[in-house]
Amino acid sequence: MLYLYIKHLHVTAAVVSIVLFIIRACWSVKGSPLLQSGFARIAPHIIDTILLLAGIYLASVLGWHQPWIAAKIVGLVLYILVGTLAIKRGKTPTSRTVAAIVAVVIFLYIVGVAMTKQPMSWLA
């Protein structure tokens, strides 16, 4: 029963996380001062911490030896790296836009891995 609650928490946190990422990426591309607001700086860290902790719990229950879990972890690392380009480190609005699009595609890959339980994600 606890597993299902944590799984729903994980999925909910993932949805909120990507929505906040897209909003922040748009603000970054536009150069909006809203990106520096307290909410925009703190909320994503809280949501992403919940997402990560729930993911660690779920992976520990299912077993770390699963190839699809390794694929999700690799995808997560790539998502974080590209996401920092989209929001902070991209030098131009164009580079931040491209990075944001790539980050969303990586996120969709991770979702596909989670849903199919296959490292090839939607292509499996």
pLDDT, tens only, 63-121: 989 999 999 999 999 999 999 999 999 999 999 999 999 999 999 999 999 999 999 99
36-68 confidence digits (pLDDT tens) = 999 999 999 999 999 999 999 999 999 989 999
Phi-psi region of 37 (alpha: psi -120 to 50; beta: other; left: phi over 0): beta
Write down the domain spans for the chain. Answer: 2-123
Q: For helices 67-84 and 38-62, what crossing angle results, to 10°? A: 170
Query: pTM for the complete prediction?
Result: 0.91
3-class DSSP state of 64: coil
